[in-house]
Amino acid sequence: MSVIVAASVASHTTASAPRPHILYNVQVKTADGKISTVSKRYSDFVVLHDTLNDPGSLPPKRILATTFVPAAWLDDTLIAERKAGLSAYLTGLLQSPQFRAHTTLIDFLTPSSAFAGSRDFNPEDALPSTLTRKAALEAQDKLSAQATPIYAAYYPDWSSDQFPPASLDFSKFDILLFAFATPNSSSTISFDSGSTSTLKTLVTSAHNSGKGTKVVLSIGGWGGSTYFSQAMSSSANRTTFVNACVSAVNTYNLDGIDIDWEYPNESGAGNPHSSSDAANLLSFFKSLRTALGTSKIISAAVTQLPWTGSNGQPLTDVSAYAAQMTYANIMNYDVFGASSSPGPNAPLGNLCGNSQLPQYSAQAALSQWTAAGFPKSKLVLGLPLYGYVSQSSKTTLEHIARPPAGLKVQEYKEKVLGLPERGLACPLPSVQEETAGGSEGDEKPNLLGPAGNHARAGAQGQKKPREELKAEAAGDLSSFFGQQIAFGQLVSLGALTKTSSGTYVAANGYTEGWDDCSDTPFLFNTSRKTVVTYDDTYSLGDKALFAKQNGMAGAFTWSLDQDDGYTLTNVIRSNLGK
């Protein structure tokens, strides 16, 4: 096809299937003088805009932009305004060198192309007269919920003493995931002693707060996934497990179920597993959705790669799962653990092209899940409120912190974050091959993949309870060597101190470093032979912005009890646009 030089919405018409809706007829002119017409729905323009992630703007959605008055929706002026806005949007794209030649835009403007627009019926496309008042108001609620990314957090049952449910500021949370119930040998679910009382209080407090906070029961966890494979292994077991989930939802007035299976067809914490796990999980989701109906949340905690299929490789098509699920919660943390050569806990991306685990980052996760057919609008990015303490004398994050010569990390970071000022002219960095051997004394970092680990406090590699803090000297983290540490503990123990601006700086002999290649901070104190790899206000803000700018459903944290008050939560919410 010749170069496209102009495109505008020349007229509009209607179509009858699947329900009466408006089609905008786009007249396309090419450099050779030929003129063609393509018909698009408003939702097709939305898909184009989301795919390009361009800085332009679409005319506003009617349902959100107008008060519900059916007669007003029929006003030709409103349709004319949308036509003008869509024309201006296309003109802006064609005036930009970086988007004019983009294959997605070319496909969009080419008749009979394979452009993958929105195929589901969208109320925004409807002829106003075909929507009843009830349908319109329901659509308004749905679109309002989608307009702003969600912020969710896991609430561990073991944190109830330090953070009683009734004391929480529910205005901070759209969803609280109560962790954990666990599957048992009878294919039903079990609770820790006393946790159901906490859950009841949490649900009552959340629902009575007037803030709209939903409470979802998370089942499983790192140490609680032993019986998942068995519970999913047969139709009878799945029915029993589904019934147990539904019973919990009804008994505790829950807003949904979160499946934290670590991991299907993987051993996780030494769990039994089967090559049929992933297929059985899909059957379970289908049955659970039928049993719960469409209004309840069904989510799952997942790694940066889709579930492992029967062939031992990540699934290449997870669209059937997405059809049943509300969200997939990506656990983008525990990528590198504690080691004498520490690496980042939660990389934003492989910004220097030399990570030993390039598939494990926020950027890679988004690419890998969407490539397998999971909509980005259903992907929630996990952010850790903890780090790892390593016994090490390093002053950089070895094995990942050496960018290739000439690499413009800030320029690439803008591209990864999806900021408007990025350009397609910014090249991806070339992958740096790992050199053979290494310096004497070098030790390979602790590679934890598959990343993501929701374990109980006090378990191996997990944060110590706060009541143990009083025994520690200021800045002495030696008792945490090889383990996780909560951000709040870094502050309480004196490795970090909060500034008047709400950010944090190193204290008690620590130096703060920054790893450009993963976009994460770290602390080091050579005299104490201590390195802490963690996330702070800057790195968490960047990852939250990444989720927002790339059209993800939002972000969640593991876990709310590890914050320093609500400081990190507030930063994440702000960068999500909340």
Lookup: tokens for 325:
């699920």
DSSP H/E element including 239: helix 235-252
Lookup: tokens for 244:
């147990």
Question: In the structure, how many helices (H) and strands (E) does the chain have?
Answer: 17, 19
pLDDT of residue 425: 29
Distance CA 578, CA 571 (A): 10
CA contacts within 13 A on the Cβ side of 206: 26
Q: Is 270 left (phi over 0), alpha (psi -120 to 50) or beta?
A: left
pLDDT of residue 272: 95
Distance CA 79, CA 75 (A): 7
pLDDT of residue 568: 97
Lookup: tokens for 137:
């108001």
Q: Which residue has the tokens 């649900």?
A: 203
Query: Which residue in 30, 1, 10, 5 sits closest to 93, CA to CA?
Result: 5
Query: Which residue in 168, 184, 144 sits closest to 62, CA to CA?
Result: 144
pLDDT of residue 356: 87
Cis? peptide before 18, omega within 30° of 0: yes
pLDDT of residue 506: 96
Query: Which residue in 534, 539, 525 sits closest to 394, CA to CA?
Result: 525
At 35 the three-state DSSP class reads: strand
Distance CA 284, CA 280 (A): 6
Distance CA 512, CA 522 (A): 6
The pLDDT profile of the chain, 578 residues, written as one tens digit per residue, is 578 999 999 998 877 666 667 889 999 999 898 999 999 988 888 888 878 777 677 876 654 334 343 443 445 656 777 888 899 889 888 988 778 888 889 889 998 766 665 556 666 766 555 555 555 555 555 544 455 899 999 999 999 999 999 999 999 999 999 999 999 999 999 999 999 999 999 999 999 999 999 999 999 999 999 999 999 999 999 999 999 999 999 999 999 999 999 999 999 889 999 999 999 999 999 999 999 998 899 999 999 999 999 999 999 999 999 999 999 999 999 999 999 999 999 999 988 888 889 999 999 999 999 999 999 989 999 999 999 999 999 998 865 555 566 666 666 666 555 543 322 222 333 333 333 333 333 444 555 545 567 776 654 445 555 545 444 579 999 999 999 999 999 999 999 999 998 899 999 999 999 888 888 999 999 999 999 999 999 999 999 989 988 889 999 999 999 999 999 999 999 999 88
Sign of CA pseudo-dihedral 209, 377, 260, 556: negative
At 381 the three-state DSSP class reads: strand
pLDDT of residue 7: 94
Q: Which domains does the chain have, with CATH numbers?
A: 4-145 (3.30.1520.10), 149-418+444-575 (3.20.20.80)
